[in-house]
Amino acid sequence: MENIIELYNLVKNYEMGIQTVRALRSIDMTIKKNEYVSIMGPSGSGKSTLMNIIGCLDSLTKGEYILNGTNVSEMTDNELAEIRNQEIGFIFQVFNLLPRFNALDNVMLPLVYAGKKKKDREERAKEVLASVGLEDRMNHKPNELSGGQRQRVAVARALVNNPAIILADEPTGNLDTKTSLDIMQLFENIHNAGNTVVLVTHEEDISHHAHRIIRLRDGETESDIINENPISLINT
């Protein structure tokens, strides 16, 4: 299986007044297509910084980043925005849904930015909402949905452009245990359908749903192991 993410000698520094904060220090990492990877680490380990760089939300100080065959290391802001819209589906802890828009309109947003026709936008958005079990909640606004339903809307929005990568940042952080398991089953379905899933979490039990676990500490890779017994929620 070919690589979809390639990071070589990745360094990220932040200037804080006269002090330089070394957030990432010479990270080398490859992730293959259709891998299911969790990135873990304590506060200050660099996992959020790494997620932002993988998601083309932040630039690197040094090194090289190849995303799905494209070198994004020196792209302009406009080029990065296009890559984000086409290649990456984002899922966040706080959902980031527009409160005045219903579920269908929230899911259609990436297709608006992609310039798709209204009919095509609606058809595709309805398809992915149905795939996450929300066909009967399409016209509900976020405040009319439960936390788990709002996260499912966010998952549908992430899937709507058929991105190469699903990048999830603490996707169960605001959810109760049962709802968290429902969302993790949804991620398992997404992975089984052929998607690459990169999950950033600080929760040990959540990380063990992934097939590979990468741990960061002090901006460096502490360990990178294959999870021989990933938790499966399919047919359980």
Where does residue 66 rank: exposed (0-12), middle (13-18), buried (19+ CB within 10 A)?
A: middle
- Give pLDDT tens digits for 178-202: 999 999 999 999 999 999 999 999 8
- Give pLDDT tens digits for 64-102: 999 999 999 888 888 888 888 888 999 988 888 999 999
* Amino acid identity for residue 84 in this structure: R
Q: Rounded mean pLDDT of 47-58?
A: 92
Nearest to 134 by CA among 152, 119, 151: 152
CB 167 within 8 A of CB 92: no
Whole-number pLDDT of residue 235: 67
CB 160 within 8 A of CB 104: no
CB 31 within 8 A of CB 196: yes
Nearest to 26 by CA among 46, 44, 41, 55: 46
Whole-number pLDDT of residue 226: 97
Averaged pLDDT of the chain:
92
Residues in the chain: 236
Q: Which residue did the predictor score with more confidence, 87 or 6?
A: 6
Both structure tokens of 21: 């904060």
CB 1 within 8 A of CB 33: yes
Q: Which domains does the chain have, with CATH numbers?
A: 3-226 (3.40.50.300)
Whole-number pLDDT of residue 113: 82
- Give pLDDT tens digits for 123-164: 999 999 999 999 999 999 999 999 999 999 999 999 999 898
Cα(124)–Cα(161) distance, rounded to whole angstroms?
9
